[in-house]
Amino acid sequence: MSRYGDQVAALAVPLRTAGDLDALIDRAAGTRVVMLGEASHGTHEFYHWRSAITQRLLEEHGFSFVAVEGDWPDCARVDASVRALPGGVEDPREALYEYDRWPAWMWANEEIVDFTRRLRQLNAGRAKPAGFHGLDVYSLWESLREILVYLRDHDPDQVPGALRAYRCFEPFAEDPQAYAWATRFVDATCEPDVIRLLTELRERATARETEFGLWQNAAVVAGAEHYYRAMVHGGARAWNVRDRHMDETLDRLLEHYGPGSKAVVWAHNTHVGDARATDQSRHGEVTLGELARDRYGADNVLLVGFGSHRGTVVAGQSWGAPMEVMGVPPARDDSLEDILHATAPARALFTFPREDPPPLLIDELAHRAIGVVYRPERERWGNYVPTTLGERYDAFLWFDETTALRALHTASVQVHEPETYPSGV
């Protein structure tokens, strides 16, 4: 472990205030997409420092919007609030409190309330307000309902096509697993109705906010239907459907915001990092960060990972289980987190050199990943991704000890579709 000590000392910038982020902000200035990760979905420090980085990018370099690993309809309510759009509530907290799909705490938490309130204030002084959008693929039924409501009010002639798709899914009672298994064993696919709906709505898509949201909800329905069919086959297929959908949504948003637009993305390290620097690639998985580097060029994309050694986190012991504040044990011996615990400041920023990387950045090391499902007692046998740090990310934020985020509501919420894998990242 001592072989890395001098390298860590040379790279680490202690983090005390947002002013200590200068090297990262300068590096991000010339990029089009900045992706900010997290080693777990339920950690206060990750949300707090992503907010600090994002606020500086919005204020100092004119980034256009924030896109998160969340559902499009839920995030659209928050977006309407932060941009003061017609129908949007004045306080984003009200919109965030409406998140009801497990795990609601990912976005319905006080950390996001703080950020979105600042975003609304910032937007009051911007010529073009910065948006808040969801990239994920899960909201099949919610997006179908949004489409029906919009068409009934604005284009009744299009309602029959949307109803045809909705009624195809209706027998499955909003149970994605029931639909997925039906497509495998009785060929009960809704794909033709979904494709027809998507084609019809694509033809009417315009630059107006409402029309763009309509088209995006249709794209979510198509992506979700594809995802659930892929899910029953296991392996990398469903994972890749999901990350490719997020990649396509991000690109659609950049096009919608217009020439020169720039995005900040918030998602788990397992989506933000480049899969080619991990065993994800060996398993046939692609990631959002990898796809963005390929689409926009590595020089136009900044991938930032996050990590910690020990502390507390919000998670559930199984999918749909009540949220808990769990203890995160000290990291596994010889892992990246173990090395940084022994050699790095308690909070630090690492901005990686473009040339001549030291061994810390080119050796393969185990790197912790905690999802919304977490069993701390099993961590030694899981929760670690073999990683070449300097190839997976362009920068890294380190916190030796972290604390659980503050959820808005702790009562049970609706349990909908399962994530790709039991870890829930």
Is 409 domain-assigned? no
| Residues 62 and 180 grouped into a single domain | no
Query: Does some domain include residue 338?
Result: yes
Q: Distance between CA 244 and CA 190 in Å, rounded?
A: 21
Of 250, 271, 288, which residue is a domain's last?
Answer: 250
* Residue 103: cis peptide before it, omega within 30 degrees of 0: yes
Task: Quote the pTM value.
Answer: 0.94
Q: Is 369 strand, coil or helix? A: coil
Q: Are 115 and 78 in contact (CB under 8 A)?
A: no
Which residue in 396, 387, 392, 367 sits closest to 379, CA to CA?
367
Nearest to 410 by CA among 313, 328, 325: 325
Q: Are residues 21 and 124 in the same domain?
A: yes
Please tell me whether residues 395 and 305 are part of one structural domain: yes
Backbone angles phi, psi at 222, to 5 degrees: -65, -45
Asked if residue 202 is part of any domain, the answer here is: yes
376/273 same-domain check: yes
Report how far residue 94's alpha carbon sits from residue 201's, in angstroms, rounded to the nearest whole number: 30
| Residue 326 near residue 348 (C-beta atoms within 8 A) | no
Residue ranges making up the domain that contains 129: 2-134+263-402
Number of Cβ within a 10 Å radius of residue 409: 15
Same domain, 283 and 223: no
Distance CA 396, CA 35 (A): 11
Give yes or no: residues 64 and 91 share one domain: yes
CA dist list (Å): 199 to 40, 168, 193: 37, 17, 10
Residue 180 located in a structural domain: yes
User: 265, 183, 266: which is closest to 224 by C-alpha?
Assistant: 183
Strand, coil or helix: 330: coil
Instruction: Count the domains in the chain.
Output: 2
Q: What are phi and psi of 254, to 5 degrees?
A: -60, -40
Tell whether 217 and 290 lie within a shared domain: no
Q: List the CATH number of the domain containing 100.
A: 3.40.1660.10
Distance, CA of 197 to chain centre:
27
Are 294 and 374 members of one domain? yes
Q: Are residues 281 and 396 part of one domain?
A: yes
Same domain? For 312 and 377 the reply is yes
Evaluate whether 209 touches 85 at the Cβ level (below 8 Å).
yes
Instruction: Spell out a b/e string for 241-263, using b for 16 or more CB atoms within 10 Å of the CB, else e.
Output: bbbbbbbebbbbbbebbeeebbb
pLDDT tens series, the chain, 425 aa: 578 999 999 999 999 999 999 999 999 999 999 999 999 999 999 999 999 999 999 999 999 999 999 999 999 999 999 999 999 999 999 999 999 888 999 999 999 999 999 999 999 999 999 999 999 999 999 999 999 999 999 889 889 989 998 998 888 877 877 887 787 766 678 888 888 888 888 776 666 777 899 999 999 999 999 998 888 777 899 999 999 999 999 999 999 999 999 999 999 999 999 999 999 999 999 999 999 999 999 999 999 999 999 999 999 999 889 999 999 999 999 999 999 999 999 999 999 999 999 999 999 999 999 999 999 998 878 899 999 999 999 999 999 999 999 999 875 445 444 555 445 78
Burial 268-307 (b: 16+ CB within 10 A, else e): bbbbbbbbbbbebeeeebbbbbbbbbebbeeeebbbbbbb
C-beta of residue 285 within 8 angstroms of C-beta of residue 72: no
CATH number for 183 = 1.20.1440
**387/368 Cα distance (integer angstroms):** 10
Identify the CA nearest to 328 among candidates 369, 288, 361, 363.
369
